[in-house]
A = this chain, B = another copy of it.
Amino acid sequence: MTTDGDFRRIGIVGVGLVGGSLAFAIRRVFPDAAVVGIDRAEVTLVARQSGALTSGSAELAALAGCDLIVLAAPIRQNLAVLARLGAVVSGPALVTDVGSTKRTTVEAARALPPSLTFIGGHPLAGSARGGLEAARVDLFERRPWLLTPGPGTPPDAQLRLSTFLAALGASPIVVDPMVHDHVMAYTSHLPQLTATALMHVVGETVGEAGLRLSGSGLADTTRVAASPASIWTDICASNADEVLPALDLLIATLQTLRGRLAADDSIVPLFESAQRWRARLK
């Protein structure tokens, strides 16, 4: 692998919201780079027609010759690709992913051959809607892009990837994979599960007529409940040891609230704590 300079042939496995947005951003900032998308034929066809990809294939073999490979499929599929990558790409190449949990993927990447350097990644950007049709060239602009290099990661590879992501407009931030998965259980996975449970309960109880009497509060609180189940199944499964205690904490807090309301005790301290934390969100 050349240790500096722009990537010349970039493979993106999974051309959905994140993979597609990444492809658009690369094509704009690095118009000379080849961008190879791996996905179903109907997806890569649309992505080529829209200018996101220079070529597309349903086969991993098309990744041969890539100096950067980005795994942008759901986590379980990324793991399956990692297991086969050494057989189809001789390298040298830098491999990264955009998965919402990091420990499982970082662990699986240890089995890659030495010619393939892996650095976990997670752009903090998204949309309640998934798929290529939701992709946007500016999805990552001024958004944190978390990177989880390990002790064995060559510093030049880390610098090269950070520089590349910064050129795309993102803000690369290095974080430990365990810290990442712990924090995300609370800042991302728990809000998702909460919004999903809330939307289910509200919809099933008041029905469509009741929903018509709702305001922006319900709409905001349940916005992410529109997210695709396929992605979240993998995220929760690969972070269950962090997500379960997070759910337990929320359930306990809701039970405390319930107890205080039932006993006509004050709920002000909990509201004021939440208000203080919310003010720090920005």
Contact = CB atoms under 8 A, between A and B. Distances in A.
Interface of A: 124-126, 143-144, 146, 173, 175, 180, 182-184, 186-188, 190-206, 208, 210-230, 232-233, 236-237, 240, 243-244, 246-251, 253-255, 257-258, 261-262, 264, 266-268, 270-282
Most buried by B among A184, A264, A270, A273: A273
9 contacts: A143-B215, A183-B213, A190-B198, A191-B221, A193-B257, A201-B249, A223-B278, A229-B271, A233-B267
Contacts of A261: 236-237, 240, 243-244, 247
B194 A146 contact: no
A151 to B, nearest CB: 21
A197 B270 contact: yes
A274 B222 contact: yes
A175 B213 contact: yes
Given A173-B213, A194-B198, 15 more contacts: A124-B214, A183-B213, A186-B202, A187-B213, A187-B214, A187-B218, A194-B254, A195-B217, A196-B274, A197-B250, A197-B253, A200-B274, A203-B274, A251-B254, A251-B258
A223 B282 CA distance: 11
Nearest to A187: B214
Q: Top 8 closest A-B pairs, CB basis?
A: A203-B277, A229-B271, A187-B214, A199-B274, A191-B221, A196-B274, A225-B274, A197-B253
Contacts of A268: 229-230, 233
Most buried by B among A184, A206, A237: A206
Given A144-B213, A197-B254, A202 B229 contact: no
Contact of A206 (B186, B237, B240, B273): B186
A180 B213 CA distance: 9
Given A257-B193, A280-B203, A280-B208, A184 B198 contact: no
Nearest to A239: B261
Contacts of A146: 213
A149 to B, nearest CB: 16
Nearest to A249: B201
Given A194-B221, A220-B220, A254 B247 contact: yes
Contacts of A192: 217
Nearest to A184: B213
Nearest to A208: B280
A124 B273 contact: no
Contacts of A144: 212-213
